[in-house]
Amino acid sequence: MSNKTPYYITTAISYVNGAPHLGHAYEDILTDIMARFKRLDGFDVMFLTGTDEHGQKVAKTAEKNGKAPQEFCDEIAQTFIQLKKDLNISNDDFIRTTENRHYEAAKDLWLKIKNAGDIYLDSYAGWYSTREEAFFSEKELKVDEKTGEKRTPNDTEVEWMEESSYFFKLSAYQDKLLAHYEAHPEFIQPASRRNEVISFVKGGLEDLSISRTTFNWGIPVPEDDEHVMYVWLDALTNYMTAIGYPDIESEGFKKYWPADVHVIGKDIIRFHCVFWPAFLMSAGIDLPKQVFAHGFINVDGQKMSKSLGNVVSPTDLIEKYGLDQTRYILAREISHGEDGNFTYSQALNRLNSDLANGLGNLAQRSLSMIYKNCDAKMPARENLTEQDTELLEMCYSVIPKLRDEADKFRFNRVLEEIWRIVYAANAYIDDQAPWTLKKTDHVRMGVVLSVIAETVRCLGIMLQPFMPQSCKILLDQVGVDENQREFSHISGKYALSDGYEVEKPEGVFPRIQIEEDNDA
Ligand code: MSP
């Protein structure tokens, strides 16, 4: 068994009622960057993602499409599986809530909660939003001025529901939840979201309806198959199913539970930070260590919506800019926990200035000079000047700073920190002018070029979580051993040795030429 520290990270599982969009891609990429970062930092990572396939919303959409729910789910789940491949997501498992293993897990959790005395049968009369698969109290709803209709705070429709239902005694958990938030300030991140949850819970919790009888697309309630489980109770359990629950003695569960972090969007905080911990407390299971809620992606300053026609498809972006470029843009433009704005012109500027002119140019001009002027062999790094060691030290000392920012999901700051090195390296090469040294001091020219190549090696290693394919090309070009590409290898001890035969380098980040009128 590995002696690495386990690290378990999950995304929300997506509803299969429509095609994946940029918001889903953003969450996947954000979580993937963290998973890859942790692997490179020496952790034993388990990364889970998947699809949420039950509930009224999916059942209705399947019906509209003239399909049986399972057939419909099978089709749409494939588009999500494909999206992960297209985005080069490094998930270790993909869970679908219609799988057998998940039925077992959800039923077991239900029984544990029931045995704890926290489930009772009654009838529900109240408002439900199918779009959000959530119950709303009268006081939470607003009234549409034009139509007089009641709407949720997120502006989705509600319908009145009256049916027999099992309830979870959520009200009994108010104080325990508040005590948990107090004792574990890191549980809900960022802090702004934490405050939001605390004030919601302080406002009072009502018992939660956790079963439905008016449709049957769900997991049957144990010992009463007139009812199906409320889709959120079913869905949240996925995080445990994938690692072996209900077998709590299984290797996976023992190793990876409690999860280190659930990465979710800000719209589903209540389910993850109130309902989920309360279910687990009731069942006597440890709570996840953290829920990190990211912001939403807007396009050209507006919420993405089909009616506005501004929904950006992740595959279009990949086609237009390239995969790693798409990953880079999403990580760079959106700051931790806040809403982010995507515009084509901003993306284009970033890609050309940071990747083509910044990093790409640095690698290309140094490696092609080595190829042309040093017999395609890595020159020796000797008699180093202060400027040489300063640049190398910048590389060798940066990981703790990156780790600090990454742990808070501040990947834009991680990239800013890395780009300080890119700028310093470009300033160094301009200052040292190896093209002039070529005529005056060939040995010194070699030293300068190999200092840059060593810088490229370090940059290639630290940028792998963001741009895995391009970094692989960069690292192959400078001859880095496949087994020496972890963060611990960013040190002088593993520096490039001289004599390595450099292949004719090819530009990794070409300049992107797109006419302005493509800016949708
Ligand atoms: N099925 C539930 C989650 C269950 S988790 C046990 C769900 N699905 S979803 O398909 O609507 O959303 C999946 C994830 O994508 C959520 O974390 C959601 O916040 C996120 N996003 C959906 N639209 C988004 C944006 N426009 N921007 C960023 N993320 C967004 O909720």
Site to probe by mutation for ligand 1, drawn from 54, 83, 268, 271 as the one with most ligand atoms within 8 Å of Cβ, is 268
Distance of CA 86 from the midpoint of ligand 1 (Å): 19
297 lines ligand 1 (CB under 6 A): yes
Strands 159-168 and 340-342 turn out to be: unpaired
291 lines ligand 1 (CB under 6 A): no
- DSSP string covering 299-316, please? ETTEE--TTTT-PPPHHH
- DSSP string covering 53-106, please? --SHHHHHHHHHTT--HHHHHHHHHHHHHHHHHHTT---SEEEETTSHHHHHHH
With a CB cutoff of 8 Å and minimum separation 6, the contacts of 419 are 354, 358
- According to the model, what pLDDT value does residue 518 have? 47
Report the candidate in 182, 507, 211 with the shortest Cα–Cα distance to residue 361: 507
210 lines ligand 1 (CB under 6 A): no
Is residue 361 within 8 Å of residue 505, measured between CB atoms?
no
- According to the model, what pLDDT value does residue 519 have? 45
Q: What is the pLDDT along the chain (520 residues), one digit of tens a residue?
A: 579 999 999 999 999 988 899 999 999 999 999 999 999 999 999 999 999 999 999 999 999 999 999 999 999 999 999 999 999 999 999 999 999 999 999 999 999 999 999 999 999 999 999 999 999 999 899 998 888 999 999 899 999 999 999 999 999 999 999 999 999 999 999 999 999 999 999 999 999 999 999 999 999 999 999 999 999 999 999 999 999 999 999 999 999 999 999 999 999 999 999 999 999 999 999 999 999 999 999 888 888 877 788 888 899 999 999 999 999 999 998 776 788 888 889 999 999 999 999 999 999 999 999 999 999 999 999 999 999 999 999 999 999 999 999 999 999 999 999 999 999 999 999 999 999 999 999 999 999 999 999 999 999 999 999 999 999 999 999 999 999 999 999 999 999 999 999 889 989 998 888 655 444 4
- According to the model, what pLDDT value does residue 513 have? 80
Torsion, Cα of 415, 419, 422, 425 (10° steps): -130
Distance of CA 136 from the midpoint of ligand 1 (Å): 19
Distance of CA 174 from the midpoint of ligand 1 (Å): 26
